[in-house]
Structure 1
Protein backbone atom coordinates (compact mmCIF):
# COMPACT_ATOMS: atom_id res chain seq x y z
CA UNK A 1 0.00 0.00 0.00
CA UNK A 2 1.48 3.27 -1.10
CA UNK A 3 -0.01 6.31 0.62
CA UNK A 4 -1.38 9.00 -1.66
CA UNK A 5 -2.21 12.63 -1.06
CA UNK A 6 -5.89 13.22 -1.82
CA UNK A 7 -7.98 16.24 -0.88
CA UNK A 8 -5.22 17.47 1.46
CA UNK A 9 -5.26 14.15 3.33
CA UNK A 10 -2.95 11.14 3.32
CA UNK A 11 -4.80 8.06 2.09
CA UNK A 12 -4.05 4.34 2.10
CA UNK A 13 -6.01 1.88 -0.06
CA UNK A 14 -6.52 -1.88 -0.08
CA UNK A 15 -8.36 -4.08 -2.55
CA UNK A 16 -10.55 -6.58 -0.72
CA UNK A 17 -12.20 -9.63 -2.27
CA UNK A 18 -15.49 -9.01 -0.47
CA UNK A 19 -18.66 -7.13 -1.34
CA UNK A 20 -18.58 -3.41 -0.54
CA UNK A 21 -21.60 -3.91 1.74
CA UNK A 22 -19.62 -6.34 3.90
CA UNK A 23 -16.73 -3.92 4.31
CA UNK A 24 -19.09 -0.99 4.93
CA UNK A 25 -20.77 -3.00 7.68
CA UNK A 26 -17.39 -3.52 9.38
CA UNK A 27 -16.48 0.16 9.02
CA UNK A 28 -19.70 1.24 10.72
CA UNK A 29 -20.18 -1.52 13.33
CA UNK A 30 -18.85 -0.09 16.59
CA UNK A 31 -18.49 -3.58 18.08
CA UNK A 32 -16.07 -4.39 15.23
CA UNK A 33 -13.90 -1.28 15.70
CA UNK A 34 -11.70 -2.81 18.43
CA UNK A 35 -11.10 -5.89 16.26
CA UNK A 36 -9.77 -3.90 13.29
CA UNK A 37 -8.70 -0.60 14.88
CA UNK A 38 -5.31 -0.93 16.60
CA UNK A 39 -5.90 2.26 18.61
CA UNK A 40 -9.49 1.46 19.69
CA UNK A 41 -10.53 -0.52 22.77
CA UNK A 42 -14.24 0.28 22.48
CA UNK A 43 -16.83 2.80 21.33
CA UNK A 44 -20.40 3.86 21.90
CA UNK A 45 -22.56 6.24 19.92
CA UNK A 46 -25.82 8.04 20.59
CA UNK A 47 -28.52 6.31 18.57
CA UNK A 48 -26.25 3.32 17.91
CA UNK A 49 -25.51 4.19 14.27
CA UNK A 50 -22.86 6.03 12.28
CA UNK A 51 -24.88 8.95 10.93
CA UNK A 52 -23.89 12.55 10.35
CA UNK A 53 -23.99 14.54 13.58
CA UNK A 54 -23.98 11.49 15.86
CA UNK A 55 -21.91 11.87 19.02
CA UNK A 56 -20.18 9.20 21.00
CA UNK A 57 -17.20 8.08 23.02
CA UNK A 58 -14.24 6.13 21.69
CA UNK A 59 -11.96 4.46 24.21
CA UNK A 60 -8.35 4.33 23.09
CA UNK A 61 -6.15 1.25 23.33
CA UNK A 62 -4.61 2.71 26.51
CA UNK A 63 -8.04 3.21 28.09
CA UNK A 64 -8.55 6.96 27.58
CA UNK A 65 -12.18 7.81 26.64
CA UNK A 66 -12.51 10.60 24.07
CA UNK A 67 -15.62 12.27 22.66
CA UNK A 68 -16.24 12.07 18.93
CA UNK A 69 -18.64 13.50 16.37
CA UNK A 70 -19.45 11.94 13.00
CA UNK A 71 -18.93 14.89 10.66
CA UNK A 72 -19.74 13.42 7.27
CA UNK A 73 -21.50 10.32 5.96
CA UNK A 74 -22.18 9.18 2.42
CA UNK A 75 -24.09 5.97 3.26
CA UNK A 76 -22.44 2.84 1.94
CA UNK A 77 -19.44 4.84 0.70
CA UNK A 78 -17.60 6.95 3.32
CA UNK A 79 -17.65 8.51 6.76
CA UNK A 80 -15.45 10.95 8.67
CA UNK A 81 -15.19 12.12 12.24
CA UNK A 82 -13.56 14.45 14.72
CA UNK A 83 -12.13 13.02 17.93
CA UNK A 84 -11.80 15.34 20.91
CA UNK A 85 -12.63 18.19 18.53
CA UNK A 86 -9.74 17.38 16.17
CA UNK A 87 -10.33 16.28 12.55
CA UNK A 88 -9.47 12.58 12.50
CA UNK A 89 -9.68 9.74 9.99
CA UNK A 90 -12.01 9.20 7.07
CA UNK A 91 -13.06 5.72 6.00
CA UNK A 92 -14.47 4.53 2.71
CA UNK A 93 -15.27 1.74 0.32
CA UNK A 94 -15.79 1.68 -3.45
CA UNK A 95 -17.01 -1.23 -5.58
CA UNK A 96 -14.48 -2.73 -7.99
CA UNK A 97 -14.44 -5.89 -10.07
CA UNK A 98 -14.02 -8.83 -7.72
CA UNK A 99 -14.90 -6.95 -4.54
CA UNK A 100 -14.10 -3.48 -3.33
CA UNK A 101 -11.39 -0.94 -2.72
CA UNK A 102 -11.33 0.15 0.90
CA UNK A 103 -9.48 3.24 2.04
CA UNK A 104 -8.72 5.30 5.10
CA UNK A 105 -7.24 8.75 5.29
CA UNK A 106 -5.53 10.89 7.89
CA UNK A 107 -5.14 14.66 8.05
CA UNK A 108 -2.14 16.16 6.28
CA UNK A 109 -0.41 16.75 9.63
CA UNK A 110 -0.66 13.04 10.64
CA UNK A 111 1.40 10.94 8.20
CA UNK A 112 2.79 8.92 11.13
CA UNK A 113 -0.70 7.42 11.52
CA UNK A 114 -0.63 5.79 8.06
CA UNK A 115 0.88 2.46 9.24
CA UNK A 116 -1.97 2.20 11.77
CA UNK A 117 -4.50 2.73 8.98
CA UNK A 118 -2.75 0.16 6.78
CA UNK A 119 -2.93 -2.38 9.61
CA UNK A 120 -6.63 -1.60 10.11
CA UNK A 121 -7.32 -2.22 6.42
CA UNK A 122 -5.42 -5.51 6.58
CA UNK A 123 -7.54 -6.60 9.55
CA UNK A 124 -10.74 -5.56 7.78
CA UNK A 125 -9.65 -7.56 4.74
CA UNK A 126 -9.18 -10.64 6.91
CA UNK A 127 -12.49 -10.14 8.73
CA UNK A 128 -14.46 -9.48 5.53
CA UNK A 129 -13.10 -12.56 3.80
CA UNK A 130 -13.97 -14.77 6.82
CA UNK A 131 -17.70 -13.94 6.50
Structure 2
Protein backbone atom coordinates (compact mmCIF):
# COMPACT_ATOMS: atom_id res chain seq x y z
CA UNK A 1 0.00 0.00 0.00
CA UNK A 2 1.20 3.49 -0.84
CA UNK A 3 -0.12 7.02 -0.50
CA UNK A 4 0.10 9.60 -3.26
CA UNK A 5 -0.28 13.24 -4.15
CA UNK A 6 -0.70 14.55 -7.71
CA UNK A 7 -0.66 17.83 -9.60
CA UNK A 8 -1.64 18.68 -13.13
CA UNK A 9 1.16 20.64 -14.83
CA UNK A 10 0.62 22.62 -18.03
CA UNK A 11 3.99 21.65 -19.49
CA UNK A 12 5.21 18.92 -21.84
CA UNK A 13 5.80 15.53 -20.24
CA UNK A 14 9.39 15.58 -21.50
CA UNK A 15 10.13 18.84 -19.66
CA UNK A 16 8.76 17.53 -16.37
CA UNK A 17 10.54 14.20 -16.80
CA UNK A 18 13.81 16.07 -17.35
CA UNK A 19 13.33 17.90 -14.04
CA UNK A 20 12.54 14.67 -12.22
CA UNK A 21 15.58 12.81 -13.53
CA UNK A 22 18.29 15.50 -13.57
CA UNK A 23 19.99 15.13 -10.18
CA UNK A 24 21.38 18.65 -10.54
CA UNK A 25 17.80 19.99 -10.52
CA UNK A 26 16.62 18.04 -7.48
CA UNK A 27 17.56 20.81 -4.99
CA UNK A 28 15.51 23.27 -7.09
CA UNK A 29 12.27 21.40 -6.45
CA UNK A 30 12.95 18.98 -3.59
CA UNK A 31 12.32 20.70 -0.24
CA UNK A 32 14.35 18.12 1.67
CA UNK A 33 17.34 18.04 -0.71
CA UNK A 34 20.28 20.47 -0.80
CA UNK A 35 22.54 18.51 -3.17
CA UNK A 36 22.42 15.34 -5.23
CA UNK A 37 24.51 13.54 -7.74
CA UNK A 38 24.81 10.29 -9.56
CA UNK A 39 27.65 7.92 -8.80
CA UNK A 40 28.12 7.54 -12.56
CA UNK A 41 27.42 9.74 -15.57
CA UNK A 42 24.59 9.03 -17.96
CA UNK A 43 21.48 9.97 -16.00
CA UNK A 44 19.08 7.84 -14.04
CA UNK A 45 18.36 4.23 -14.91
CA UNK A 46 17.38 1.12 -13.04
CA UNK A 47 20.11 0.41 -10.51
CA UNK A 48 21.63 3.90 -10.68
CA UNK A 49 23.35 4.92 -7.47
CA UNK A 50 24.41 8.23 -6.03
CA UNK A 51 24.30 10.41 -2.97
CA UNK A 52 21.72 12.91 -1.82
CA UNK A 53 22.35 15.55 0.84
CA UNK A 54 19.40 16.43 3.02
CA UNK A 55 18.50 19.73 4.66
CA UNK A 56 19.81 18.38 7.96
CA UNK A 57 23.24 17.91 6.34
CA UNK A 58 23.30 14.14 6.05
CA UNK A 59 24.72 12.71 2.82
CA UNK A 60 22.85 9.48 2.11
CA UNK A 61 23.31 6.87 -0.61
CA UNK A 62 20.43 6.19 -2.97
CA UNK A 63 19.58 3.48 -5.48
CA UNK A 64 16.99 3.70 -8.27
CA UNK A 65 14.77 0.66 -7.65
CA UNK A 66 12.23 1.04 -10.49
CA UNK A 67 12.54 2.80 -13.83
CA UNK A 68 10.24 3.19 -16.84
CA UNK A 69 11.87 5.74 -19.19
CA UNK A 70 9.80 8.88 -19.57
CA UNK A 71 7.13 7.65 -17.16
CA UNK A 72 8.19 6.48 -13.70
CA UNK A 73 11.08 6.04 -11.32
CA UNK A 74 11.36 5.12 -7.65
CA UNK A 75 14.25 4.90 -5.27
CA UNK A 76 15.49 3.80 -1.89
CA UNK A 77 17.51 6.17 0.27
CA UNK A 78 19.96 4.63 2.73
CA UNK A 79 18.35 1.29 1.89
CA UNK A 80 14.84 2.44 2.83
CA UNK A 81 12.09 2.59 0.17
CA UNK A 82 11.37 6.25 -0.59
CA UNK A 83 9.28 8.18 -3.12
CA UNK A 84 8.03 7.15 -6.53
CA UNK A 85 7.72 9.74 -9.33
CA UNK A 86 5.22 9.27 -12.18
CA UNK A 87 4.42 11.47 -15.20
CA UNK A 88 1.36 10.79 -17.38
CA UNK A 89 0.73 12.82 -20.52
CA UNK A 90 -2.61 14.63 -20.71
CA UNK A 91 -4.07 17.15 -23.12
CA UNK A 92 -2.23 20.42 -22.57
CA UNK A 93 0.28 19.01 -20.11
CA UNK A 94 0.75 16.11 -17.76
CA UNK A 95 -0.26 14.66 -14.43
CA UNK A 96 2.65 14.31 -12.00
CA UNK A 97 2.24 11.95 -9.06
CA UNK A 98 4.53 11.24 -6.12
CA UNK A 99 3.97 8.12 -4.05
CA UNK A 100 5.24 7.37 -0.57
CA UNK A 101 5.34 4.07 1.34
CA UNK A 102 2.45 3.15 3.63
CA UNK A 103 4.45 4.21 6.69
CA UNK A 104 5.30 7.72 5.39
CA UNK A 105 2.02 9.63 4.78
CA UNK A 106 3.40 12.53 6.85
CA UNK A 107 5.80 13.17 3.92
CA UNK A 108 2.93 13.98 1.51
CA UNK A 109 2.90 17.75 2.29
CA UNK A 110 6.61 17.86 1.38
CA UNK A 111 5.77 16.06 -1.89
CA UNK A 112 2.92 18.52 -2.56
CA UNK A 113 5.36 21.43 -2.15
CA UNK A 114 7.79 19.68 -4.52
CA UNK A 115 5.02 19.36 -7.12
CA UNK A 116 4.24 23.08 -6.88
CA UNK A 117 7.93 23.85 -7.41
CA UNK A 118 8.09 21.48 -10.38
CA UNK A 119 5.10 23.22 -11.91
CA UNK A 120 6.75 26.62 -11.46
CA UNK A 121 10.03 25.42 -13.00
CA UNK A 122 8.37 23.63 -15.91
CA UNK A 123 6.05 26.48 -16.87
CA UNK A 124 8.33 29.48 -16.65
Q: What is the TM-score with the length of structure 2 in the denominator?
A: 0.97
Structure 2 unpaired stretches of 5+: none
CA distance in structure 2 between the partners assigned to 1:19 and 1:84 by the alignment: 32
Alignment map for 1:31-46 (pairs within 5 Å): 31-46=24-39
Residue correspondences, number: 123
Q: Using the TM superposition, give the Cα deviation of residue 111 of structure 1 relative to its aligned residue in structure 2, in angstroms.
A: 0.5
Deviations 1:54-99 (A, max 9, x none): 1110000121100110011000000000000000000010000110
The one of 11, 17, 36 equivalent to 1:24 is 17
Which 4+ runs in 1 deviate beyond 6 A? none
Structure 1 unpaired stretches of 5+: 1-7
Alignment map for 1:93-108 (pairs within 5 Å): 93-108=87-102
Whether the aligned pair in 1 keeps the contact of 2:100 and 2:108 (CA below 8 Å) is yes
What residue in structure 2 maps to residue 129 of structure 1? Answer: 123
CA distance in structure 1 between the partners assigned to 2:115 and 2:102 by the alignment: 19
Q: What is the TM-score with the length of structure 1 in the denominator?
A: 0.92
RMSD: 0.6
What residue in structure 2 maps to residue 80 of structure 1? Answer: 74
CA distance in structure 2 between the partners assigned to 1:22 and 1:47 by the alignment: 22
